[in-house]
Structure 1
Amino acid sequence: MAGSPPATGLQPAQLAVVINDDEPNSVAIGEYYRQARDIPARNVVHVNIPGKPRKLTADQFRHLRNVIELQLPAGIQAVLMVWTAPYAVDCYSITSAYSLGFDPGLCDKPCEPSKPSPYFNAASSRPYLDFGMRLSMLMPTESVEQAKALIMRGKASGFRTQPASAYYLVTSETARNSRAVFFPRSMVLPRQELTIHTLRADSIADVKDIMVYQTGKARVEQLDTLQFLPGALADHLTSVGGDLLGTVQMSSLRWLEAGATASYGSVSEPCNYWQKFPHPTVLLKHYLGGATAIEAYWRSVAWPAQGLFIGEPLAAPYRQRQ
């Protein structure tokens, strides 16, 4: 890995906000987020994507990426796209196509290994300088009210560390337990005030202290009984959780609607390689080490081509307070 100073975490001045001027919700939420996070006005990028297509062609994406890149000021290490759709480029997620580049060969064989991420388990706080890649995340815009609540949860996560729990579930859906071998054992981490619960169960209910929830299920039950703390990360290993507006399986949007601050899901059938989903201990290590949500999630996925990163990127509940 290229030499970098110790990671201090992504800063607002290093994040670009990409607004779709053809979608009123994107315009409203993008500006609200810019002000809430004190992001410089020069970091706002404007694009036009009419019709809210769920998927872009390679040519459409190439044009969009060029439009974004031409507007970026110096020093940008990460990009937040403020819309729900488009979220895919052929079989790729739009976030991975943007950050890693689009390789059409994968889409002929989506169930095979995909391009490794140089950022996997990295400590760099300067991914563009060190690896030539800008991290990216999508902030959904189906509801202005819900998006504002998401933004406020991300911001509130930086105020103080709260006693919290991380839940890792080994479920009855055996094929979706491929990363369960990496679940941490149940324990208490006193310094971070975090209790880890690794369970054999299909769901949890009536829990009010969630900072991390990772499971393997096509649909996760009882989300409406849960309370997620500000900055919470939650995702389910399944085939098409990143098909945000699809109905075949549970959309990753449901995690944000339930109160999580960031999530992840695949937009096309990846098969159950653990490398294509967030690695539990890598994710936890970097988040507890002070990384932002976008950094921790990106560092946790070895082969992220088909995976979509969504939520509030700057949430950092374990960043050391100045």
Structure 2
Amino acid sequence: MTGTVVRKMIVGLLALLCWHGAAQAQLVAKAGGLRPAQLALVINDDEPNSVEIGEYYRQARNLPAENVVHVRIPNRPRKLDAEQFRQLKEQIDARLGPHIEAVLMVWTAPYAVECNAITAAYTMGFDAEVCATPCGPAKPNLYFNNTSSDPQGEHGMRLSMLLPTDSVAAAKALIGRGVSAGFSTPAANAWYLTTSESARNSRAPFFPRAGVVAARKLTVKRLSADFIENEKDIMIYQTGMARVARLETLQFLPGALADSLTSFGGDLYGTGQMSSLRWLEAGATASYGTVSEPCNYWQKFPQPTVLLSHYLRGVTAIEAYWRSVAWPAQGVFIGEPLAAPYRR
């Protein structure tokens, strides 16, 4: 057995142990969290929406002007090859100071680098091996279930996320949800659904226990159903369906995280399964999906107890999501990265 395989098994075992036997009081431990001055903004000057939305975001979050990087990606390709991506990454990195811990790419496409997601390729490096065996294990995420506030300094990882730009109005509304998430902590619900699509229930064993986290005014709800409808005050919604019904009937709170365990949610412009963009359109603030066939390894999707635990500690959406995926090579993170509804 190779050292790489052993390390991957250890990552899995650590996640299996997460939360079991732990008191819910651990959920509310204090954490620092990413600050706007530590976030870089990458704008595609060949896309007018990227330029407009990027400047709007910079002002909304009061990012220093020196944190903005301008690049040119003509024709909005869905996918880059490894060499195109290498040149793009070098161009971005050359402009970043050592204080930058995360990068927000202001575009919808490109969202893939060959079989990798562009966010994973940027943060962890392009993984050619997973393209040879996409249904096999992937490179472990050193930031998985990690409490470090310095992923760049400690692990050489700058976290990354995409801010979709197909609609200027929708992007500004998304930014508004992320910003407003920091003003109050309303009573909220976290939904975890075990569905009839049994192959997509591989992370159901990690759903947190139903009950109330009183210190965060959050009610955890577990359900055997294919969808929820007409529900309000949603902060978390995690399920496993190729297409999730009744999203238009739901009301998400600012800062809400939502995703589905399905093969091609990260193929943002794909039509075979539901794009993760639909979660943002429904009112969520951040989401995740895979860009190539991952099979149903739970390690390739946000682990529910890890995601909830870290988010309730007060970190940002980008930190909580990145800490929750053990093997993220094929997964793209999208949304407003600085949303932090539990930071106080």
Q: TM-score range by the shorter chain?
A: over 0.9
| Aligned pair partner of 2:174 in 141, 150, 163 | 150
Contact 2:44–2:73 (CA under 8 A) maintained in structure 1: yes
Other-structure match for 1:293: 317
Residue aligned with 1:264, SS: strand
Query: Partner residue of 2:145?
Result: 121
Q: Retained in 1: the 8 A contact 2:174–2:336?
A: yes
Match of 1:112 in 2: 136
Determine helix, strand or coil for the equivalent of 1:168. Answer: strand
Specify the code of the residue in structure 2 equivalent to 1:245. Y
Q: Per-residue deviation at 1:114?
A: 0.1
SS in 2 for 1:199: strand
Partner of 2:251: 227
User: 1:187 corresponds to which residue?
Assistant: 211
Opposite residue 44 of structure 1, the aligned amino acid is V
Alignment equivalent of 1:94, drawn from 118, 122, 125: 118
Structure-2 separation of matches of 1:52 and 1:191 = 44
Shift of 1:73: 2.6
Which residue number corresponds to residue 22 of structure 2? none
CA distance in 1, matches of 2:300, 2:62: 33
Moved more, 95-104 or 68-77: 68-77
For residues 11-59 of structure 1, give each alpha carbon's deviation from its aligned partner in whole angstroms, at most 9, with x where no partner exists.
0000000000000000000000000001000000000000000000000
Distance 2:89 2:213 in 1: 42
Kept in 2, the 8 Å contact 1:42–1:73? The answer is no
Tell me which residue corresponds to 2:37: 13
Other-structure match for 1:137: 161
Whether the 8 Å CA contact 1:7–1:124 is kept in 2: the answer is no
The reply to whether residue 44 of structure 1 matches residue 64 of structure 2 is no
TM superposition shift of 1:74: 3.2
Structure-to-structure mapping, 1:154-303, within 5 angstroms: 154-303=178-327
- Asked whether the equivalents of residues 169 and 199 of structure 1 are also in contact (C-alpha less than 8 Å), the reply is yes
CA distance in 1, matches of 2:241, 2:135: 19
Distance in 1 of aligned mates of 2:130 and 2:231: 40
Deviations 1:137-164 (A, max 9, x none): 0000000000000000000000010000
Query: Structure 1 vs Structure 2: percent identity of aligned residues?
Result: 70
Instruction: Tell me the distance in 1 between the aligned counterparts of 2:149 and 2:182.
Output: 18
Task: State the TM-score, normalized to the length of structure 1.
Answer: 0.97
**Corresponding position of 1:3:** none
After the TM superposition, list the runs of 4 or more consecutive aligned residues in structure 1 that deviate by more than 4 angstroms.
none
Identify unmatched segments of 5+ residues in structure 2: 1-29
Structure 1 segment 44-83 matched on structure 2, within 5 A: 44-83=68-107
The alignment covers a number of residue pairs equal to 315
Match of 2:46 in 1: 22
Say what the alpha-carbon RMSD is for the aligned residues: 0.7
- How far apart, CA to CA, are the structure 2 residues paired with 1:78 and 1:246? 27
Take 1:27 and 1:214, find their aligned partners in 2: how far apart are those partners?
32
Distance in 2 between residues matched to 1:95 and 1:60, nearest whole Å: 15
More helix by share: 2
Normalised by the length of structure 2, the TM-score is: 0.91
Corresponding residue SS for 1:167: strand
Give the Cα–Cα distance (whole angstroms) in 2 for the partners of residues 319 and 284 of structure 1: 13
Looking at structure 1, the residues matched to 124 and 312 of structure 2 have their Cα atoms a distance apart, in angstroms, of 25
